[in-house]
């Protein structure tokens, strides 16, 4: 199992409409917005108090390998995360790379999340070919369920956690031909 930090390239990823890059200090307000938003956190355990976020958010938030700010015309609109799920509660997902995505509500409904996540998964496939990726989302989170399907995740199992039904999906490596 390779550590993402040893292979994840720091170069930004460009898509047709977006730039995926490392977080920088000027993203801090958007990170606060993201985690304080009741809409964004509806299926993620609820928003965090804004004053707490203002106090505790590092000067440069979320700076670690696999953490990508989604930038549209110089402004952060979302966050795509790829993390090693070392402590995942489901054995099928433990130790695998886990995809997460959070976008500001004003950026929903434009296909930006799909564009950003597929670019991140494409970059991952280039640096770690064949690496499976898992994704957990509440089944009630319809936009997230649609996005997971669009990205090629298929159901591994459903389970109860955090007082809700959860969906564990996996994007398996392509089946070798021949």
| Cβ-based burial of 144 (10 A; exposed 0-12, middle 13-18, buried ≥19) | buried
Among 102, 120, 124, 128, binds ligand COA (CB under 6 A): 102
Q: Is 100 in the site for ligand COA (CB under 6 A)?
A: yes
Listed ranges 45-53, 68-76, 105-113, 152-160: which one lies at the site for ligand COA (CB under 6 A): 105-113
Minimum CB distance to ligand COA smaller for 44 or for 60: 44
The least distance separating ligand COA from the CB of residue 78, rounded to whole angstroms, comes to: 7
Q: 140: which 2 tokens?
A: 């009630």
Show contacts with ligand COA in window 30-89 (CB under 6 A): 40, 43-44
Whichever of 128 and 147 has its CB closer to ligand COA, that residue is: 147
Tokens 């070392």 sit at which residue?
Answer: 86
CB 13 within 8 A of CB 19: yes
137 lies in the site for ligand COA, by CB under 6 A: yes
Report how far residue 43's alpha carbon sits from residue 15's, in angstroms, rounded to the nearest whole number: 28
Q: How far apart are CA 157 and CA 24, in angstroms?
A: 37
Q: Answer yes or no whether residue 108 interacts with ligand COA by CB under 6 A.
A: yes
Sign (positive or negative) of CA dihedral 104, 124, 16, 20: positive
Q: Under the criterion CB under 6 A, does residue 111 sit at the interface with ligand COA?
A: yes
Helices and strands (H and E) in the chain: how many = 5, 8
Where does this chain bind ligand COA (CB under 6 A)?
A: 40, 43-44, 100-103, 108-114, 137, 141, 143-144, 146-147, 150
């Amino acid at each position: 199992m390779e550590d993402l930090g040893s292979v994840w390239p720091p170069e930004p990823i460009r898509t047709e409409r977006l730039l995926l890059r490392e977080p920088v200090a000027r993203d801090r307000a958007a990170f606060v917005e993201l985690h304080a938003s009741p809409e964004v956190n509806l299926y993620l355990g609820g928003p965090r108090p804004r004053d707490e976020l203002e106090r505790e958010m590092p000067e440069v938030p979320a700076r670690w390998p696999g953490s990508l700010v989604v930038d549209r015309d110089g402004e952060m609109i979302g966050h795509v995360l790829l993390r090693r799920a070392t402590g995942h509660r489901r054995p099928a997902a433990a130790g695998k790379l886990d995809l997460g995505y959070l976008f500001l509500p004003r950026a929903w409904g434009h296909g930006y999340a799909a564009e950003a996540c597929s670019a991140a998964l494409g970059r991952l496939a280039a640096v770690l070919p064949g690496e499976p990726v898992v994704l957990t989302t509440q089944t009630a989170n319809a936009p997230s369920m649609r996005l997971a399907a669009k990205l090629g995740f298929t159901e591994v199992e459903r389970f109860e956690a955090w007082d809700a039904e959860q969906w564990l999906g996996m994007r398996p490596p392509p089946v070798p031909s021949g």
